[in-house]
C-alpha cells in the first residue's frame, strides 16, 4: 500500500467548495442587480427632469388656439424703446397715462425671435409679469385656463412682457416658468435693466394695460384679477371705455 496522500477530494470538501461557489455567484448576482437598479434610477431621474422642465412643450400648439412660448436659453432680452414712456400711476386720482400713446418696445422672445409691443391698429391688453412674483404665479395659470376654455380673443390682441428678471430670485429664468404653465400669449423678454417695464410705467405685478385700436391707453391696473375682471379688460379694449 502506498504512503502517498490520496488526491481524491473528500465529499465534505466538495460540499464546501460548492457552497463557496454558490456564495460567489450569489454575490455577483446581487452586485449585478444593484448596478441595474442604479442605472434605472439614473434614467428615471433624467426623464423626470426632462418632463419637469417644461421645455419640450415650448412652441407646441395650445388648447387656447395659440402657441406655447418657445424654447430658448435667453435669460435677458435686448430691448429698445421708441415713443414717450408712460408715467407711473400715482396713488389716488386719475391715471396720468390714460390717453397717452403706448410706446413701442422692440425686443425678442425666449428663442431670440423678434417681437414688438406697441400700437398696431388693434385693441390690446398688455400683461406684465415677473417670474418671482407670487401673484403672477397664481394669475398666469388662472388666465391660461381661461384661454384654454374660451380660446384666444380674435378681436383683442394679447401680449406679455416678462420683466424684473432676477437670476437670484425664484423661477428664473422666466422662459422655463412660463413653459411649465403652458403660457400661450406671445411674450417679450425684458433686459436686465427692465427697460420695457420702465417704459410702461409699471408699478406692481401682475400689471395690465388696456389699449384701444388707436394705440391709446384706456386703463391700467395691477394685482391679481378674477376671470370676470379680465373679461372686463377685454371689453374695455374693444370699446375704448375704462371699466367702472
For residue 59, pLDDT over 70 is answered with yes
Percent of the chain topping pLDDT 70? 76
Q: Which residues contact 127 (CB under 8 A, 6 or more apart)?
A: 143, 158, 159, 160, 161, 185, 206, 207, 208
Question: What are the cell numbers at 13?
Answer: 470538501
For residue 38, pLDDT over 80 is answered with no
Mean pLDDT of 230-241: 98
Cα atoms in the Cβ-side hemisphere of radius 13 Å centred on 121? 0
SS (H, E, C) the chain: CCCCCCCCCCHHHHHHHHHHHHHHHHHHHHHHHHHHHHHHHHHHHHHHHHHHHCHHHCCCECCCCCECCCCCCCCCCCCEEECCCCCCCCCCCCCCCCCCECCEEEEECCCCCEEEECCCCCCEEEEEECCCCHHHHHHHHHHHHHHHHHCCCCCCEEEEEECCCCCCCCCCCHHHHHHHCCCCCCEEECCCCCHHHHHCCCCCCCEEEEECCCCEEEEEEECCCCHHHHHHHHHHHHHCCCCC
Q: Rounded to two decimals, what is the model's pTM?
A: 0.77
Which of the residue ranges 15-19, 109-113, 163-167, 176-180 would you say has the lowest mean pLDDT? Answer: 15-19
Amino acid at each position: 500500500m502506498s504512503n502517498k496522500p490520496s488526491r481524491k477530494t473528500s465529499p465534505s470538501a466538495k460540499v464546501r467548495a460548492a457552497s463557496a461557489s454558490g456564495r460567489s455567484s450569489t454575490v455577483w448576482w446581487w452586485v449585478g442587480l444593484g448596478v441595474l437598479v442604479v442605472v434605472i434610477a439614473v434614467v428615471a431621474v433624467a426623464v423626470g427632469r426632462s418632463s419637469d422642465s417644461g421645455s419640450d412643450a415650448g412652441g407646441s400648439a395650445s388648447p387656447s388656439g395659440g402657441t406655447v412660448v418657445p424654447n430658448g436659453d435667453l435669460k435677458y432680452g435686448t430691448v429698445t424703446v421708441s415713443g414717450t414712456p408712460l408715467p407711473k400711476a400715482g396713488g389716488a386720482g386719475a391715471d396720468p397715462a390714460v390717453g397717452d400713446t403706448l410706446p413701442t418696445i422692440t425686443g425678442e422672445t425666449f428663442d431670440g425671435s423678434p417681437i414688438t409691443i406697441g400700437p398696431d391698429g388693434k385693441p390690446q391688453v398688455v400683461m406684465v409679469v415677473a417670474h418671482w412674483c407670487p401673484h403672477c404665479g397664481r394669475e398666469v395659470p388662472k388666465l391660461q385656463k381661461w384661454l384654454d376654455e374660451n380660446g384666444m380673443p380674435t378681436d383683442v390682441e394679447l401680449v406679455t412682457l416678462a420683466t424684473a428678471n432676477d437670476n437670484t430670485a425664484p423661477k428664473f429664468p422666466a422662459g422655463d416658468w412660463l413653459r411649465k404653465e403652458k403660457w400661450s400669449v406671445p411674450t417679450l423678454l425684458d433686459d436686465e435693466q427692465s427697460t420695457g417695464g420702465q417704459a410702461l410705467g409699471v408699478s406692481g405685478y401682475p400689471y395690465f394695460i388696456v389699449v384701444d385700436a388707436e394705440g391709446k391707453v384706456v386703463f391700467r391696473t395691477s394685482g391679481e384679477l378674477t376671470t370676470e375682471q379680465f373679461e372686463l379688460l377685454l371689453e374695455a379694449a374693444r370699446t375704448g371705455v375704462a371699466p367702472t
